[in-house]
Every structure is written in C-alpha cells, then in structure tokens.
Amino acid sequence: MSKLIDVIQLGLGRAERWWMHHGADNRKKITVETVQDVEPILKANRREFNAAPARFGGGEHFHKVASIPATVIEEMCRVEKIPFAEMMARKSERSKRVWRKLLYDRDFRAFRTRPGVV
C-alpha cells in the first residue's frame, strides 16, 4: 500500500508527489511522481498552429516551432536513458534523434506550433 507523503507545486501546472511504499524486497521505498497539466499547453499550441503561416519565410529570426511540456522531455530522457543536460545540449546523436522524434513523430504532433520542417 502506498502513502502520499507530500505534494510540491513546481509551477507551470507541474507538481511532485512523494509516495512511501514497500518494495518487492519488503523494504520501505520512496517514489517521486512528477505530473503536469498539459491541457493549457496543448490548447495554446493548437491556437498558434492554426494562426501560423504555412511557410517560415526568410530572415534571420528564430521561429517557435513547438512547446513541449517539461514532463514529456523528462520522460523521454528516462526512457531513452539520456541525461537531461545532454538532451538539452542537443549535441549527441542520440539526443538529436529524440528531438527529431519529439518534433516530427505523429504521436507528438500536438506539441507543434507551426507546420513544416525545422
């Protein structure tokens, strides 16, 4: 049986829930669960996507192409076994592969704020 120890609000709809439970070895364990309400992000992304022009255009300006919740990035790091700093630096081949997945995979298309290829 799990017992909720604490809930810490991190901001931007994120929260950490700290749980006490017994592991398979019957020893006490603490698990930290990070949750985030992504609905506001998805709604904002949809509005931006619908309002965005079909083309990027010229110039030397940066263009916002996606808004990805932090919990999704953290989960991808956990699943792919990539340190968060490496993922954010985007220099290794494996981090580039994960970023491509986040930007182009149809499972993550709700995070895009513009159509097209980056």
What tens digit of pLDDT does each residue of 30-75 get?
999 999 999 999 999 999 999 988 776 665 677 888 999 999 999 9
Is 76's pLDDT higher than 70?
Answer: yes
pTM as predicted: 0.77
Q: How far apart are CA 74 and CA 46, in angstroms?
A: 22
Is 90's pLDDT higher than 80?
Answer: yes
Is 84's pLDDT higher than 90?
Answer: yes
| CA distance between the termini of the chain | 47
Q: How far apart are CA 109 and CA 97, in angstroms?
A: 16
Q: Which amino acid is at 109?
A: R
Closest by alpha carbon to 77, among 31, 34, 25, 39?
A: 34
pLDDT, residue 107, reads 93
Q: pLDDT tens for residues 91-101?
A: 999 999 999 99
Q: How far apart are CA 96 and CA 99, in angstroms?
A: 5
Mean pLDDT value across the chain: 90
Number of neighbouring beta carbons within 10 Å of residue 102? 18
